[in-house]
Amino acid sequence: MKMDVEGATSDENMIEVSYNDLIPNNVGLNSDRALKRALERWQPKFLDWWRTMGPDGFQEAEVYLRTAVGVGKGGWAVFDYVKMPEYRWGILLAPKEEGRTIPFGKHKGEPVWEEVPGEYRALLRRLIVVQGDTEPASVEQQRYLGKTCPSLYDLRNLFQVNVEEGRHLWAMVHLLQKYFGRDGREEADALLERRSGDRDKPRLLGAFNEETPDWLSFFMFTFFTDRDGKMQLESLAQSGFDPLARTTRFMLTEEAFHMFVGESGVGRAIQRTCEVMNEAGIKNPYDVEAVRKLGVIDLPLIQRKANFHIALTRDLFGSEISTNAATYFNAGLKGRYKETRIDDDHQLKDATYPVLRHFNGEFFTEKVPALSAVNARLLDDYSRECQGGLDRWNKIIKNFDIEFTIKQPHVAFNRNVGEFANLHVSTEGGVFDEPTWTAHREEWLPKSEDLKYLHDLMKQEKKCDCFANWISPPRHGVNNMEGDFEYVKLR
Amino acid sequence: MKIDFRTSPDVYRHWSLETEGCSAKLTLSVDPTGGIFPGYELKMNSYDLGVDIELADAVQRLRFEHPEVRVVVIQSGLDRIFCAGANIKMLGGSAHGHKVNFCKFTNETRNAIEDASMHSRQRYIAAINGTAAGGGYELALATDHIILIDDGSAAVSLPEVPLLGVLPGTGGLTRLVDKRKVRRDLADVFCAAEEGIRGEKAVEWRLVDEVVRGSEFSERVRACVWELIKNASVNDARGIIFDLLDRKEIDNGLTYKYLDVVFDRTRRLAELMISGPEIDIPENTSGMHAIGANFWPLALTRELDDALLYLRFNEPELGTLVFRSEGNGEKVLAFDMFLQSQEENWLGREILNYWKRTMKRLDITSRTLLAEVLPGSCFAGFLSEILFSVDRCYMLQGELEHDSRSPGKIWLSTLNFALFPMANGLSRLETRFLGEPENFVKAQELVGKPLDAESALSAGLVTVVLDDIDWEDEIRIVKEERASYSPDALIGMEANLRFAGPETIETKIFGRLSAWQNWIFQRENAIGDDGALKLYGTGFRPKYDKERV
């Protein structure tokens, strides 16, 4: 990699990022022999995994990628061409805040932990393993998408997301290997052994074993599912275990781009659909046949895809009322979204939180102890965040004067985890028996002909400045590059 | 609310029992809303007493209704969850007595699984498809062969100590080191690892017998069933049917066909009157099969078993159980002889095994147990086993005034010497005579002979012999005295005196593991407002009194 960075620094209160080492880092890896040895043993296994499970067919391509080189506020990354297997995956923690105290839970106000407290060792390891397992999983899910990319710009964005998920894996593996001894090393290896969708060694969470068969799925995934990742990272960024907090805080810097890819990707598909409809004089968004003849994605299908991904992602939040979440919070390991900005005692001793529940065909709101409702609250925050994106999509549609609004389905729709796992609920919140629900399924979720249509629509576009018919070009290039910039040099 | 132990597969809420040829599947899919008490949800295949009552029923029915079954697979109907053990909210919310009784019953059920394997050659396989935590793994420990899925996350664990501040008290600790002979230091590591042990390491440590990849899991379980069937002797017998046990609950007691239980709440005791057989001995084996569950020894065993469970759970204040019998002792002995002649027949064997288990249930019932042998009583052969299970046996010498029946007698049979071992592996008579081996030898010479009070006393078979002048007063005083003592001290005393002799896995489970567990269940560290059981699930960490006691 031709990168002009020698020991890039930004803030004063941090260790320099060392780029001369085999593994770029700002954790002083050279002076920690045990950790260095562990990571150097793991590195070849990671590269093996990347070669077998990373983007299929593009390992030799030169990709215009950003690489994190510092952790300061400005100029934390550089852009250059790199072959993905040569990407400088490194270990970067946000700067240490001197005198930081645990912001919530029963240890609130005590100094943060620099080492793992013995009594929380198992809990913390579990948290880190579950978070870590999602990172390589999405790379595996997306490994064939390159073959149907709608443009080199999008292809590059896919790979950017992929290498950064890879770096997030490194971040979690660093924590496991540095703080959890031999068990941590075994878990780090296991992260490379599980495989998305594999019957024998599936990834730990359901959504990460689903396929990402087409680019609309990819955009939906990065918008909805990566946003869950963001919420989880935000909660961990508050952790009383400071290395975890600092690690996840830096990961969030990168994660923002993933949300952008999702929101703008879906937005550009919507934009293109509306444009084409306008040009052809189609006013009715439900005239699917006419819309599809023009080779774009009809809005009802976008709604059905969104329904699918939202429900699947909501499951990732775990049970709304959750013992584990309560334990994590009280222990000071995992906070709430933007914990420090919430105005309460941050201990939830007697607080309650309203949670939507269900009994005998009726939904009702029940005030439950806020400590056990930490997941429910995070899910509510998530829904609010999602709505922001949906509103922007709807604005595009409105600009074209088309009568259609993309909505979030009812929170109980199509759930497999939590309060509503065994119910059959419509997108509007109607509770049905299983046969009735199944009979209406195709109104709410993509049907097989939808998926086939999407599949057939996806054709690789690899000329500079060209875009597949179903998607609009972006407003700006990456790093402000011109439209004809060659984001990926295919060999 | 009264707890009822009578159930059948058609009304199970949590288990399903399917048989196919020589194999059976017991599938656990706990209905989260189906708890026996309100106030908790049975998530993740966690269980309460209601779930275990069904399991006990299924294990029992497999032996009597499906004698052809050679292999039983215990599996889960949920994805990636085998069983999360006893429900903690339930335990946290239960009174001490219920926790203890619940643990005792679940222990008896796991023992029944092992008993079925050893004595009925019905082998059990645990097919662990996901999380098997605490009681979930303990259930697997009771089986003959444990197969664990190897999917990178499924693990077996006993997280009670780190997570709940209690013990894996359903045989877990004992079976780990005694049955599976896991090395004690590794067992220590295992019991402190909340997340458990998975994959090859679980095999290396002998926690499971094999790990199998997800795609090969069902196939491997099938193959394993087949291997066990191949090596088993075929039993093409047809089972008998266990109808719903007929029990009437009256104001002050229970009535069954051959057993009447009378509650005496003022004196805090229950009298159990056993009736001898009305029917004649069947002519042959098929005669016995035709009578089925109504065959007197079997019917009586079912009734006694049910009554003991009923009393344990529903009548905790009746501290003394007094056993009597009424009927023709010679006829009982004839039934005993008939059962001896059926030793080669599966049903005959099952009945004797069931009586054995019921006597064990009696041994560990934490009530004062008394027996009274009066004129007209019929303690003979297997039925006289009750006399050797109780804490004291009183026998009346001669007749009672205004009672024309001839003086009571007891009869021994060879069954008393061999077929009904206690938890310690010895017969009750051998245990009784550990310090008087000559009496044990003598007793064998008395087989089949009617023994009156004096001979019974001199043979050491009864505790006290009284004549009709002393009888009423003495007996009254014994019962009143007993009712005045501390129930706790009595439980402790009785349990310690009942089980002389060697240790076995069973005695360790009931005598050591359970005792420790019951102590822990009383401590603030478990049940105080800041105790582990109370706080589990709230997110708050328990506060422990750090003093070692």
Would an 8 Å CB–CB cutoff place B204 in contact with chain A? Answer: no
Which residue of A lies nearest to B151 if distances are taken between CA atoms?
A: A201
- On the question of pLDDT at B244 being above 90, the answer is yes
Which tokens belong to A408?
């979030």
Q: List Cβ neighbours of B91 (8 Å cut-off, separation of 6 or more).
A: B99, B102, B166, B533
Query: Which chain B positions have a beta carbon within 8 Å of A330's beta carbon?
Result: 538-541
Collapsing DSSP states into helix, strand and coil, what is residue B26?
strand
CATH topology of domain A29-307+447-489: Ribonucleotide Reductase, subunit A (1.10.620)
Residue A201 to residue B152, Cβ atoms within 8 A: yes
What does the pLDDT read at residue A12?
Answer: 42
The residue count of chain B comes to: 549
Cβ of A371 within 8 Å of Cβ of B539? The answer is yes
> A323 and B539 in contact by Cβ < 8 A?
yes
Residues of chain B neighbouring A200 (CB-CB closer than 8 A): 150-151, 213-216
Query: Which residues in chain A are contacts of B194 at CB distance < 8 A?
Result: 122-123
CA distance A220 to A308: 9
* Alpha-carbon gap, residue A226 to A157, rounded angstroms: 14
Rounded alpha-carbon distances, angstroms, from residue A229 to B349, B391, B526: 61, 65, 37
DSSP letter string over B46-96? EE-HHHHHHHHHHHHHHHHT-TT--EEEEEESSTTEEE-EE-HHHHHHS-H
How far does A91 lie from chain B, in Å, by closest CA?
25
Residue of A nearest to B162 (CA): A119
Cα A117 from chain centroid (whole Å): 29
Candidate from A125, A201, A328 with C-beta closest to B151: A201
With beta carbons under 8 A apart, name residues in chain A contacting B215.
199-200
DSSP code at position B400: P
Cβ of B449 under 8 Å from any chain A Cβ?
no
Q: How many CB atoms lie within 10 A of CB A166?
A: 20
**B540 and A193 in contact by Cβ < 8 A?**
no
Residue of A125, A202, A331 lying closest to B151 (CB–CB) = A202
Show Cβ contacts of residue A336 under 8 Å, excluding neighbours closer than 6 positions: A104, A235, A238, A329, A342, A374, A377, A378, A381
Residues paired with residue B260 on neighbouring β-strands, in sequence order: B255, B273
pLDDT confidence of B486, banded at 50, 70, 90? very high
B469 and B388 Cβ atoms separated by less than 8 Å: no
Q: Are A384 and A281 in contact (CB under 8 A)?
A: no
Q: Does B287 touch chain A (CB under 8 A)?
A: no
Is the Cβ of B195 closer than 8 Å to some Cβ of chain A? yes
Select the residue of A199, A331, A371 nearest B215 (Cβ to Cβ): A199
**Residue A215: exposed, middle, or buried by beta-carbon count in 10 A (0-12, 13-18, 19+)?**
buried
Q: Looking at this predicted complex, what is its ipTM?
A: 0.73
How many CB pairs below 8 Å do chains A and B form together?
A: 62
Exposure b/e, B134-158, CB count within 10 A at least 16 = b: bbbbbbbbbbbbbbbbbbbbbbbbb
Please determine whether the domains at B9-230 and B251-491 fall in the same fold group of CATH.
yes
Integer Cα distance of A278 and A400 in angstroms = 7
User: Architecture of B9-230 per CATH?
Assistant: Alpha-Beta Complex (3.90)
Whats the size of chain A, residue-wise? 491
Of B151, B213, B539, the CB nearest to A330: B539
Mutate to test the interface with B, among A327, A329, A377 (most CBs of B within 10 A): A327
Q: Please report, for residues A97, A326, B234, B289, the alpha-carbon distance to residue B238 in angstroms, rounded to integers and kept in the order given.
A: 76, 53, 12, 9
Per-residue pLDDT of A396-432, as tens digits, reads 999 999 999 999 999 999 999 999 988 999 999 999 9
According to the model, what pLDDT value does residue A16 have?
Answer: 62
A52: number of Cβ within 10 Å: 12
> Are A200 and B215 an interchain contact pair (Cβ–Cβ within 8 Å)?
yes
| Cβ contact, residue pair A330, B152, below 8 Å | no
- Cβ contact, residue pair B538, A371, below 8 Å: yes
Spatial distance between the Cα atoms of A97 and A63, rounded to a whole number of angstroms: 35
Q: Which chain B residues have a beta carbon less than 8 Å from that of A123?
A: 194
Task: Evaluate whether B416 touches B384 at the Cβ level (below 8 Å).
Answer: yes
Structure tokens at B251: 């104001």
A contact set with B (CB within 8 A)? 106, 119, 122-123, 125-126, 190, 193-194, 198-202, 204, 323, 325-331, 348, 369, 371-372, 374
Rounded Cα–Cα distance for residues A122 and B180 (Å): 26
- pTM, two decimal places: 0.85
Q: Residue B329's pLDDT band (boundaries 50, 70, 90)?
A: very high
More confident of the two residues B301 and B402:
B301
Under 8 Å between Cβ of A335 and A102: no
d(CA A122, CA B162): 10
Q: Which among B434, B435, B436, B459 has a CA at the least distance from the CA of B446?
A: B459
What's residue B236's pLDDT?
78
Per-residue pLDDT averaged across B535-549, rounded? 87
Which residues in chain A have Cβ-Cβ distances shorter than 8 Å to B152?
A: 190, 193-194, 201-202, 204
Q: What are phi and psi of A159, to 5 degrees?
A: -70, -35
For residue B321, the SS3 value is: strand
Distance (Å, rounded) from C-alpha A441 to C-alpha A439?
Answer: 6
Exposure of B211 in the CB half-sphere (CA atoms within 13 A): 21
Residue of B nearest to A359 (CA): B33
Q: One-letter amino acid identity for B304? A: L
Q: In sequence order, which ranges of B315-363 are alpha helices (DSSP H)?
A: 329-341, 346-363
- Amino acid symbol at B476: R
Closest CA–CA distance from residue A386 to any residue of chain B (Å): 28
Residue B524 phi, psi dihedral angles, 5° rounding: -55, -35
The Cβ-side half-sphere exposure at A469, using a 13 Å CA radius, reads 14
8 Å CB contact of A190 and B152: yes
State the Cα–Cα distance between residues A400 and A478, nearest whole angstrom: 27
Note the helical H segments in A321-444: 323-330, 374-399, 434-444
Radius of gyration of chain A (CA): 23
Q: Which two tokens stand for residue A445?
A: 């979720």
Which of B153, B215, B536 is facing A204, going by the closest CB pair?
A: B153
- Chain A residues with CB inside 8 Å of B540's CB? 106, 326, 330, 371
A259 to chain B, minimum CA–CA distance in Å? 29
> Chain A contact for B213, CB < 8 A?
yes
pLDDT at B452 over 90: yes
Are A106 and B541 within 8 A, CB to CB? yes
At a CB cut-off of 8 Å and minimum separation 6, what does B163 contact? B194, B532, B536
B435 touches chain A (CB under 8 A): no
Q: What distance in Å separates the CA atoms of residue A132 and residue B539, rounded to the nearest whole number?
A: 23
- Please state which CATH class domain B251-491 belongs to: alpha beta
The residue in chain B having the minimum alpha-carbon distance to the alpha carbon of residue A327 is B539
Q: How confident is the model over B388-406, as pLDDT tens digits?
A: 999 999 999 998 888 888 8
Per-domain residue ranges for chain A?
A: 29-307+447-489
Q: Do B537 and A323 touch (CB under 8 A)?
A: yes
Residue whose C-alpha is closest to residue A469's, from A481, A480, A457? A457
Strand partners, A65: A80
- Stretches where chain A sits below pLDDT 50 are 1-14
Mutate to test the interface with A, among B541, B543, B544, B546 (most CBs of A within 10 A): B541
Are B215 and A371 inside 8 Å of each other by CB? Answer: no
Q: Write the CA distances from B1 to A250, B314, B315, integer angstroms.
A: 57, 8, 11
- Say whether residue B192 is in contact with chain A using an 8 A CB cutoff: no
| Residue B481, burial from CB neighbour count under 10 angstroms (0-12, 13-18, 19+) | exposed
Answer for the pair A204, A138: CB distance below 8 angstroms, yes or no.
no
Interchain pair A369, B213: CB under 8 A: no
What is residue A128's predicted lDDT score, i.e. its pLDDT? 96
Among the partner-chain residues B195, B214, B538, the one whose CB lies closest to the CB of A326 is B538
Of A200, A323, A348, the CB nearest to B214: A200
Which pLDDT does position A359 carry in this prediction? 86
CB contact at 8 A, A79 and A478: yes
Facing B538 at nearest CB: one of A199, A204, A372: A372
Would you call B536 and A193 a contact, using CB atoms and an 8 Å cutoff?
Answer: no
Q: Does B310 touch chain A (CB under 8 A)?
A: no
User: pLDDT of A301-339, one tens digit each?
Assistant: 999 999 999 999 999 999 999 988 999 999 999 999 999
Distance from CA of B208 to the nearest CA of A (A): 18
d(CA B442, CA B438): 6
Which pLDDT value is given to residue A75?
A: 61
Q: Is B489 exposed, middle or buried (0-12, 13-18, 19+ CB in 10 A)?
A: exposed
Q: Summarize the confidence of residues B26-34 as an average pLDDT.
A: 95
Nearest to B195 among A122, A327, A329 (CB): A122
- What are the φ and ψ backbone dihedral angles of A32, each rounded to 5 degrees? -120, 85
Contact list in B for residue A327 (CB cut-off 8 A) is 539, 541
CA distance B154 to chain A (A): 10
